[in-house]
Amino acid sequence: MKTIKDLPLHDRPREKLLKRGASYLSDQELLAIILGKGTKKADVLSLSRKIIKIIDEKGLSCTVRDLTEIDGIGNAKAATIAAAFEFVGRRIKPEGLKIKFPADVLPLIQHYTDRKQEHFLYISINGANEVMSFRVVSIGLVNKSHAHPREVYADVISERASAVIVAHNHPQGEFKPSDEDIQITRQLKKPPIYWG
């Protein structure tokens, strides 16, 4: 596994951001910049990968305690991450973003294109077609993710959303829906009586 010091200068996260802008960096690289450095046991990119996995699983309910359970993440790094997320969350929220066309969803999900596993996501929408929340429902394999209707709809129902948008990435780059994708879509469209 390459560390940041092993990378050519132009490929290092901070230098890449300064030269090309933050939008050119992967989530792992962005988080590596926030963390600043790794530990004796793990370089900053490895730590970032572990943290992203926890954040994807926990979503907005991710706590400092969840982060400190990762080997190499102490109170200081966990507090830095939590503070960065809260700072951004107070200023740039997806809530209120209006979805008029399918392409309007892209800014919320495009950063999942670089993931090595399928991530099944939902976006809940209110009666005015505004985004209420966004969450990763499940993380699957390189070519498969499981999503049961109760896992998709539980939070959507509790927040009294009017509609839900579901999506997932295809790490292998295939745009055509698989047979399993079609089956999951049909299952999600069934009335609740079939959610056994």
Q: Which of 77-86, 123-132, 172-181 has the weakest average pLDDT? A: 172-181
**Residue 62 falls inside a structural domain:** yes
Question: Which residue would you say has higher pLDDT here, 151 or 31?
Answer: 31
Please check whether residues 181 and 130 belong to one and the same domain.
yes
pLDDT at 65: 93
Query: Is pLDDT of 144 > 70?
Result: no
pLDDT, averaged across the chain? 82
Supply the range of the domain harboring residue 114.
Answer: 102-194
Please check whether residues 178 and 119 belong to one and the same domain.
yes
Q: Which of 37, 63, 91 is the last residue of a domain?
A: 91
**Band of pLDDT at residue 66, cut at 50, 70 and 90:** very high
Distance between CA 168 and CA 182 in Å, rounded?
12
Segments in the chain forming alpha helices (H): 13-20, 27-35, 44-58, 64-68, 75-91, 106-109, 149-158, 179-189
Query: Is pLDDT of 179 > 70?
Result: yes
pLDDT tens profile 95-136: 567 889 888 888 778 777 777 788 888 888 899 998 888 888
Please check whether residues 82 and 39 belong to one and the same domain.
yes
Question: Which residue would you say has higher pLDDT here, 15 or 2?
Answer: 15
Please check whether residues 48 and 15 belong to one and the same domain.
yes
Of 116, 167, 165, the residue nearest 143 (C-alpha): 116
Mean pLDDT of the 185-190 span: 83
Please check whether residues 126 and 188 belong to one and the same domain.
yes
Q: Provide the number of structural domains found in the chain.
A: 2
Please check whether residues 127 and 187 belong to one and the same domain.
yes
CATH, residue 181: 3.40.140.10
Please check whether residues 57 and 108 belong to one and the same domain.
no
Q: Are the C-beta atoms of 112 and 154 separated by less than 8 Å?
A: no
